[in-house]
Chains A and B, each alone.
Chain A
């Protein structure tokens, strides 16, 4: 089946720093979503981005489907950005999401 790899696995930042999280996937996909799992365990939708670039405030994402990767950019990080960031892809026409192992981000004040 499709493999989803996220890097780095762990990231520690000072408040105000910028970061880039990467998601590689091994086969073509219908959909790609980025999520933030906050310290309370809730999964927050960040982006639905099977291709192209989107921005939402301090966050932006780019997916290059032909090269099978997606990037999540976090600018001017805040302590509330801490948590685990998951990339999830949907193999063609299956409906189900396959998750990467996540990037654990800690933003220090």
Chain B
């Protein structure tokens, strides 16, 4: 059973360019979460999506950042006009999202992350 896939693993962008980060959830998972880990900081929640819906984007900066999880294809985190402060590791997680008898259904599994460097 393939895990959560993220690409690219490393991304270098110049200030002002756009960054697109992709996440393919585990097979059968319909809930996707994005987190950001800034240097020397812990992980911070950004956005929670289900297929074609944004459930909670309370952790995402209001400007320049957007996320989607289309009916077909991976989830995309898009950062427009990147600045040096956007340099971080971006992690995607997925879950089945259904509270049920099995812990497995609700547990979040993380991808390997995309390390964004803005020069």
Contacts and interface: CB of A to CB of B under 8 A. Distances in A.
Q: Are chains A and B native binding partners rather than an unrelated pairing?
A: yes
B35 to A, nearest CB: 8
Interface in B83-119: 89, 91, 93, 97, 99, 103-104, 106-110, 112-113, 115
B43 A96 contact: no
B70 interface: no
B109 A101 contact: no
Interface residues of B, number: 27
A45 B107 CA distance: 9
B44 A99 contact: yes
A98 B108 CA distance: 12
B55 interface: yes
Interface in B45-85: 45, 48, 55-56, 58-59
A67 B33 CA distance: 28
Interface in A88-109: 88, 94-102
Chain B at the A interface: SS class: strand
B43 A86 contact: yes
Given A48-B107, A96-B59, A86 B42 contact: yes
Contacts of A30: 99, 106
Interface of B: 31, 33, 35, 42-45, 48, 55-56, 58-59, 89, 91, 93, 97, 99, 103-104, 106-110, 112-113, 115
Interface of A: 30-31, 33, 35, 41-43, 45, 48, 86, 88, 94-102
5 contacts: A35-B110, A42-B113, A45-B110, A96-B45, A99-B35
